[in-house]
Structure 1
Amino acid sequence: MIPAAALLLGVVLVAWWSPHPLSRLTAAGAAPGTAIAWWLLTATGVIAGAIGGVVLLVLPDHGPATAIMRVLHGCWSAVGHGGLPSLDPIVATAAGAVVLGVGGRLALASARRRQRRNLLHRRHLEAPRLSGTTTSRPVPTLWLAENEPIAYSLGGRRALIVASTGLKDRLSDAELRAVLAHERAHVHGRHHLLTAVAEVLGRTLRFLPLMRELPGAVRLLVELSADRTAAGRCGPEPLGSALRSIRAAGGPRRALAMSGGDTAIRLHWLTTAPEPRSRFATRLTAVAVGGLALLAPPTVAAGLVVGTGLISCP
């Protein structure tokens, strides 16, 4: 039972303390897309670690945990598995029930979000027949007869960009191109899917600090990622001036609006984005940190097991 308990404890420690180092790594100049991967890989590692810990508890003889404990049995006789055998079925049943309950909530929240997203798409696709006009390339764009400057995008198989005539009237041609490039970057980068995953996890597992902060972090990072793409194509100046012009306008909850995220951070990033390092160093750092993020719970668990064993040895 001890390796399983160590793995579950590692999950708790990573879920509790990881937001701070992840935020610091992001602020240190990591590419937004890379930072998104780090956050989501950490969340994936936490979920996989929790499932793995429960599986170790419910497997006969705890699966490979028995072999591990044989190696450390001499050093751990005082706190070993054999002293409290009756705890195993109790802990395994409770942990299994928790995992099943969380899995059910995740599935239900995901299904509800998908249903609301499909309804939102249908309403927008019906709009051109009522009052709007559309352009079809490269991503369909619905132009609404609205005085407010509005720009947002909807993801999925029928991705759509929604903009208003008030946006055209307020922005220059260069600014308008930058805004549309920003929204196309959301669609091509599958940012709607990434934010949906983060929000479902955050809503279902709010008791874990990592999951609680995940939706806000991913929403800001997808905006920075889209800004980076749009600035590379249209220049940072028109994008920044467009962002200042429409910073108060938004869209539906499940859309990614041009005014999303922290506007001050986005404007600061456009003017102070760090110079990119060598491509090899960037990729090496991204892979190394991503691997550590994914394997953080078992790494912490292994450290706890080995450390406790060394301390317990006479």
Structure 2
Amino acid sequence: MILAAALLLGTITIGWWSPVLLSRLAARIDPGTAIVWWLLTAVGVVAGAIAAVLLLVLPGHGPADAVIGVLHDCWSALNHDDVPGLDPLVGTVAGAVLATALGRLALASLRRRRRRHVLHRRHLTALRLAGTRDTRPLPTLWLPEEQPIAYSLGGRRALVVASDGLAARLTKRELGAVLAHERAHVHGHHHLLIGWSEVLGRTLRFMPLMRELPGATRLLVELAADRTAAAQCGREPLRSALRTIKAVDGPRRALAMAGGDTAIRLSRLDTRSSPPRSMALRTVAGSIAAFLAPQVIAVALVLIAGFVACR
């Protein structure tokens, strides 16, 4: 039970305190890297919790006995066999909590998928009725609306939605930057990332990391799409377009050009990106650390406990 308890403690530590560190790091690094770190931290927390529960419910605690056996001579007072009566109780409770969480996760995922399908079907119907003959992989549906609207819908039949009012208010370069921004959402699979972030946030809302994950991911995908659009069309057209349409949003499950904090997005457009080589190394190292953080804390706690017992 020692390894399971240490892993649960590591998971709780990362789940409660990592948002503070991730938020500070996200302001200094590439938004794509920040997205990876946020999501991998969340996945690592979920994986750590599942592993801890499995160590409790598996016969003999799975591989835990073999690991503890290495230190058994030095810290036998900490061996889980000293309190065997707790194992079935803790394992049963942990298993029930895990089953409930996984059930809520599956239910939230199915609900969101159903609602997204309805929204997508309506837009595809409108695209077909409009008589669009756009043969590109990513068609654009133009709405007869005076408000400057621009958003995208992901999935296998992804599309960009824009309004006539948008084209009327923006210059040709600004309009190109807005459409490039929306296409970046689709090509970067940002809708999928947002979907999983919202499912985790709704299911495991009691944990600060999961509670803040959807909002952080929504802002970061906007920053990532801004960076892609700026690289293709220039920063100034995108900046002026943001100021023009910042007050108009799209459907709830779409990624709109007006999404996120406009002030943050405008300020980040002035930030220079890191060299590709250093950014790649930083991304890989940070990703490994983010995913393995609960396990690293668990190993450290076990080693510290063993050292204290030896003393």
**TM-score where L is the length of structure 1:** 0.96
In structure 1, give the amino acid aligned to 2:79.
G
Q: What is the number of equivalent residue pairs in this alignment?
A: 311
d(CA) in 1 for partners of 2:62 and 2:105? 27
Question: Is 1:132–1:144's contact at 8 Å kept on the other side of the alignment?
Answer: no
When the two chains are superposed, the root-mean-square deviation of aligned CA atoms in Å is 1.4
Gaps of 5+ in 1: none
d(CA) in 1 for partners of 2:14 and 2:131? 49
1:248 correspondence with 2:247: yes
- The alpha carbon displacement at 1:118 in A equals 0.4
Q: How does 1:113-152 map to 2 (within 5 A)?
A: 113-128=112-127, 135-152=134-151
Question: C-alpha deviations, 1:154-173, integer Å up to 9, x for none?
Answer: 01001011110000110000
- The alpha carbon displacement at 1:62 in A equals 0.8
d(CA) in 2 for partners of 1:207 and 1:63? 28
- The alpha carbon displacement at 1:22 in A equals 1.1
| Partner-residue secondary structure (3-state), 2:274 | coil
In structure 2, give the amino acid aligned to 1:68.
V
Gaps of 5+ in 2: none
The partner residue of 1:302 within 275, 279, 299 is 299
d(CA) in 2 for partners of 1:149 and 1:135? 22
d(CA) in 1 for partners of 2:133 and 2:204? 40
- The alpha carbon displacement at 1:59 in A equals 1.3
| Partner-residue secondary structure (3-state), 1:295 | helix
d(CA) in 2 for partners of 1:81 and 1:187? 50
- The alpha carbon displacement at 1:285 in A equals 1.2
Question: Is 2:166–2:175's contact at 8 Å kept on the other side of the alignment?
Answer: yes
| Correspondence for 2:185 | 186
| Correspondence for 1:222 | 221
- The alpha carbon displacement at 1:70 in A equals 1.9
Go from structure 1 to structure 2 and tell me whether the alpha carbon gap of 1:3 and 1:151 turns closer, same or farther (over 3 Å shift): same
1:25 correspondence with 2:25: yes
Question: Is 1:10–1:298's contact at 8 Å kept on the other side of the alignment?
Answer: yes
| Correspondence for 1:80 | 79
| Correspondence for 1:283 | 280
Question: C-alpha deviations, 1:117-155, integer Å up to 9, x for none?
Answer: 000011112224556857443511100000000000001
1:103 correspondence with 2:102: yes
Question: Is 1:155–1:193's contact at 8 Å kept on the other side of the alignment?
Answer: yes
| Correspondence for 2:6 | 6
In structure 1, give the amino acid aligned to 2:186.
V
